[in-house]
Amino acid sequence: MNVCIVGTGYVGLVSAACFAEMGNNVCCVDVNPEVVKTLTAGKVHIYEPGLEELVRRNHAEGRLVFTTSLEQGLERAQFVFITVGTPSRDDGSCDLSYVDQVAREIGRLMHRPLIVVDKSTVPVGTADRVRGLIREELAARGADIAFDVVSNPEFLKEGDAVNDFMKPDRVVVGTEDERSAEYLRQLYAPFARSRDKLIVMGTRSAEMTKYAANCMLATKISFINEIAGICEQVGADVREVRIGIGSDQRIGYHFIYPGVGYGGSCFPKDVKALIHTAREAGAVPQLLDAVEDVNARQKVSMARRVRDYFAPQGGVAGKTLALWGLAFKANTDDMREAAALSIIKDLTDHGMRVRAFDPVASENAAKLIGDNPLVEIVNSQYEACRGAQALLVVTEWNQFRNPDFERVKELLTAPVLFDGRNLYSPSFMGEQGFAYFCVGRAASL
């Protein structure tokens, strides 16, 4: 099949590479000429395990091409996927300007029947909006070409995106048109071989399903973070509590790890967008408001703990913190809404120096941190520790799980470790001679 993908970020490029891998001809369109140049040279501009090899191979075999021209992308396309960003506006609502732009351009350029598939995360009603914009553009040039707009939200997670796309838990297709559903079934057949994996529903339900899924996951994280906070106050250990509750199949073990709060390009903006949608519709999103509040508090809880620790020693001003992990989670270079940014801002606002290391996100982090003279990003986790008064672990990269603690101790001026991801055992850290602070468990001093 001939597929055009508009927007080659985490979702667009992964979808494109996986569709191409199954033998489809895929043309990727991106407005950013640098991105297109990099991809055409066989390189990938984002970090996603397994993606570069897939892109390179399918590009070399001619099934995957890249261009800045939507006209070229639409030349042979039967499907055009919209996979552009949908960031938050200041009021929390979803900014649809990139989606609108693509919809209008499709209307201006399409010359044959087309299924327009919205894969970006968009508020309920966006498929109708896209349909309206395309119709307007077709009418403006007096063209009458058949098209349908289908909602096909994406559920992949960064860090394991290729695997998620290749073996999805489900593929949601929102359409009122049985023929469009059948085309999508064919396109997705290699990924959803068991038929009941592809769930066809109304367009609005599909759009809502994506928000409901992300809000449910964000709720689980805020829930366990709230439980962790209570555990600390009452002397319980959230690790034990997690195992105790997770053993109930209705609850399960997944996604109830306490930590530094959720970040990334999806949960924060999608929770905000659903809150906004609910308010606009006259509903009261009480639970989602609380999910957000808990998360905002959690994101700076480790910074507060660092400040509390150093308060009796004259505060954090002039002291240096080694910080391991900048990305919002492991196995990605995505820095959007990363907790590290909130922590760094809080501590440097209080005069602390931060020496940070991340295996892949340093470049993206540097762009977002900007010109802060109190922050230095270094090339090794041990280099970050040299001469620092404490170490804070923010991201759960595997290479931080079993570090050389002797070396860390030698490099720090004092053995003090704040663990935002509960990577280590308090008793082990105690044996190693560290003052150890973690989430939802008593500190060992």
Q: What is the nearest approach in angstroms of ligand NAD to the Cβ of residue 292? A: 17
Residues catalogued as catalytic: 266
Tell me the two tokens of residue 185: 């079934």
The correct pick among 18, 29, 110, 116 for binding ligand NAD (CB under 6 A) is: 29
The correct pick among 3, 48, 85, 391 for binding ligand NAD (CB under 6 A) is: 85
Task: Tell me if 352 sits within 8 A of 321, measured CB to CB.
Answer: yes
Burial class (CB in 10 A: 0-12, 13-18, 19+), 195: exposed
Window of 94-102, 279-287, 388-396, 397-405 that interacts with ligand NAD by CB under 6 A: 94-102
**Site membership for ligand NAD, residue 368 (CB under 6 A):** no
Window of 57-65, 79-87, 250-258, 294-302 that interacts with ligand NAD by CB under 6 A: 79-87
Window of 83-91, 179-187, 196-204, 292-300 that interacts with ligand NAD by CB under 6 A: 83-91
**Site membership for ligand NAD, residue 427 (CB under 6 A):** no
**Site membership for ligand NAD, residue 48 (CB under 6 A):** no
**Site membership for ligand NAD, residue 123 (CB under 6 A):** no
Site for ligand NAD in 250-279 (CB under 6 A): 265-266
Task: Tell me if 402 sits within 8 A of 417, measured CB to CB.
Answer: no
Q: Which position has the token pair 């021209």?
A: 69
Q: What is the nearest approach in angstroms of ligand NAD to the Cβ of residue 273? A: 9
Which SS3 state, helix, strand or coil, does residue 201 take?
strand
74's CB contacts (< 8 A; 6+ apart) are 4, 80, 106, 109, 110, 111, 114
Distance CA 108, CA 351 (A): 54
Burial class (CB in 10 A: 0-12, 13-18, 19+), 350: middle
Q: How far is CA 336 from the centre of its chain?
A: 8
The correct pick among 98, 310, 418, 436 for binding ligand NAD (CB under 6 A) is: 98
Window of 6-14, 180-188, 285-293, 300-308 that interacts with ligand NAD by CB under 6 A: 6-14
Q: Which CB atom, from 2 or from 101, has the smaller least distance to ligand NAD?
A: 101
**Site membership for ligand NAD, residue 67 (CB under 6 A):** no
Please, where are the H alpha helices in 27-96? 33-40, 51-60, 70-74
305's CB contacts (< 8 A; 6+ apart) are 418, 437
The correct pick among 120, 152, 175, 180 for binding ligand NAD (CB under 6 A) is: 120
Task: Tell me if 79 sits within 8 A of 114, measured CB to CB.
Answer: yes
**Site membership for ligand NAD, residue 38 (CB under 6 A):** no
**Site membership for ligand NAD, residue 290 (CB under 6 A):** no
314's CB contacts (< 8 A; 6+ apart) are none
Q: What is the torsional sign of CA 35, 36, 41, 46?
A: positive
Q: Which CB atom, from 84 or from 228, has the smaller least distance to ligand NAD?
A: 84
The correct pick among 5, 12, 309, 320 for binding ligand NAD (CB under 6 A) is: 12
Distance CA 203, CA 128 (A): 9
**Site membership for ligand NAD, residue 152 (CB under 6 A):** no
As a residue count, the chain comes to 445
Task: Tell me if 168 sits within 8 A of 157, measured CB to CB.
Answer: no
Task: Tell me if 393 sits within 8 A of 419, measured CB to CB.
Answer: yes
Window of 153-161, 194-202, 230-238, 363-371 that interacts with ligand NAD by CB under 6 A: 153-161
**Site membership for ligand NAD, residue 310 (CB under 6 A):** no
Strand partners, 94: 88
**Site membership for ligand NAD, residue 86 (CB under 6 A):** yes
Distance CA 348, CA 357 (A): 16
Q: How many residues bind ligand NAD (CB under 6 A)?
A: 27
Residue facing ligand NAD at closest CB distance: 9
Q: What is the nearest approach in angstroms of ligand NAD to the Cβ of residue 45? A: 8
Q: Which position has the token pair 């290699």?
A: 190
Task: Tell me if 385 sits within 8 A of 375, measured CB to CB.
Answer: no
Q: What is the nearest approach in angstroms of ligand NAD to the Cβ of residue 305? A: 29
**Site membership for ligand NAD, residue 32 (CB under 6 A):** yes
The correct pick among 3, 7, 147, 354 for binding ligand NAD (CB under 6 A) is: 7
Distance CA 410, CA 425 (A): 20
Tell me the two tokens of residue 179: 């023929």
Q: What is the nearest approach in angstroms of ligand NAD to the Cβ of residue 205? A: 17
**Site membership for ligand NAD, residue 121 (CB under 6 A):** yes
Q: Which CB atom, from 151 or from 381, has the smaller least distance to ligand NAD?
A: 151
**Site membership for ligand NAD, residue 6 (CB under 6 A):** yes
Query: Where along the sequence are the contacts to ligand NAD (CB under 6 A)?
Result: 6-12, 29-32, 35, 83-86, 98, 101-102, 120-121, 154, 156-158, 265-266
